[in-house]
Amino acid sequence: MRITSKGRYAVRVLVDIALSHGAPVNRRVLAARQGIPPDYLAQILQPLRAAGFVAGVKGPGGGYALARDAREIRVGDVLRATEGPIALSDCTVEDAAVQCQFLETCKSRLFWEGLARVIAEYADGWTIADLCETPPHATAQEQGA
């Protein structure tokens, strides 16, 4: 599994919005602060809205705000909303479009499932609030992760 720019940007965008402490953030301002083209940001915000992480605020001073508390938004859920299932191989995805011909006899599938589970548990162990509180220069080891 490779996290694309869409997943990475989605996490950054949610942190940026969370740091506004409830004040809506204008899409153009958000795009400029995060270095994301405005049209691409719109594509990133769509699944975040659908998942209930952000809400649009209309009117003067409008923009995007968190739809729920940052402590309730898990990074793993953000990645699933933008990237799809956390899986390292198509054979570990229940509803994969293409089923592997070795599905019933594969000796390595258990490894891929386990590794994906470890990654998912790690991603689910972090919330947007956690990321807001983490110094930008800290390492995972320093944070006890």
State pTM to two decimals.
0.85
CA torsion 95-100-104-106 (nearest 10°) is -120
Domain ranges of the chain: 1-85+126-145
Residue 106: per-residue pLDDT: 82
Residue 53: per-residue pLDDT: 98
Answer for the pair 75, 11: CB distance below 8 angstroms, yes or no: yes
Phi/psi for 54 (5° steps) reads -130, 160
Q: pLDDT tens digits, the chain, 145 residues: what are they?
A: 678 899 999 999 999 999 998 899 999 999 999 999 999 999 999 999 999 999 999 988 889 999 999 999 999 999 999 998 887 777 777 665 566 777 778 888 888 889 989 999 999 999 999 999 987 776 665 655 5
Rounded distance between C-alpha atoms, residue 110 and residue 61, angstroms: 51
At the top level of CATH, the class of 1-85+126-145 is mainly alpha
Rounded distance between C-alpha atoms, residue 19 and residue 141, angstroms: 24
CA 21 to chain centre: 19
